[in-house]
């Protein structure tokens, strides 16, 4: 299934998640996640950060590019950004991963700012096509 990348279609995809189904404190996943959580990996020093277990329970929802996507809680429908940043350093690189809870309106604004052509349904997730 493909849709043109328009504000109306973005709203259609995000629509069901405008109002989470349960309170944050009642969600077994989101209640155990801080609003922002990050980890840093420095392979050259054999240092690898760890996310809380609940991060692995979030589902891919909208894949914008390999360094940025929107995740969704399968229990309550809350949305999260998943960002990846790489910094090249002398002697090796540093990978930073950041997961942040966002509101529907913030997700809509982020997605509206992207200059894409299509939204493509791929199983349970959406792909942004350039």
Q: What is the torsion angle, in degrees rounded to the nearest 10, for the CA atoms of residue 33, residue 101, residue 5 and residue 112?
A: -170
Query: Over the stretch 30-88, which tens digit does the pLDDT of each residue have?
Result: 999 999 998 887 766 777 777 889 999 999 999 988 778 999 999 999 999 998 887 76
Query: Over the stretch 76-109, which tens digit does the pLDDT of each residue have?
Result: 999 999 988 877 666 677 888 899 999 999 999 9
Query: Over the stretch 12-32, which tens digit does the pLDDT of each residue have?
Result: 888 877 888 789 999 999 999
Q: Which residues of 79-116 are buried (b: 16+ CB within 10 A; e: fewer)?
A: bbbbeeeeeeeeeeebeebbbbbbebeebbebbeeeeb
Three-state DSSP class for residue 24: helix
């Amino acid at each position: 299934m493909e849709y043109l990348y328009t504000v109306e279609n973005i709203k259609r995809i995000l629509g069901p998640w405008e109002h989470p189904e349960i309170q944050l404190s009642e969600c077994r996943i989101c209640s155990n996640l801080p609003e922002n959580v990050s980890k840093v990996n420095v392979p050259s020093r054999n240092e690898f950060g760890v996310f809380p277990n609940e991060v692995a329970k979030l589902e891919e929802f909208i894949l914008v590019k390999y360094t940025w996507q929107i995740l969704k809680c399968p229990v309550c429908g809350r949305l999260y950004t998943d960002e990846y940043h790489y910094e090249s350093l002398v002697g090796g690189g540093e990978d930073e991963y950041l997961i942040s809870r966002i509101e529907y309106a913030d997700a809509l604004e982020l997605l509206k700012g992207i200059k894409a052509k299509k939204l493509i349904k791929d199983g349970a997730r959406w792909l942004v096509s350039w």
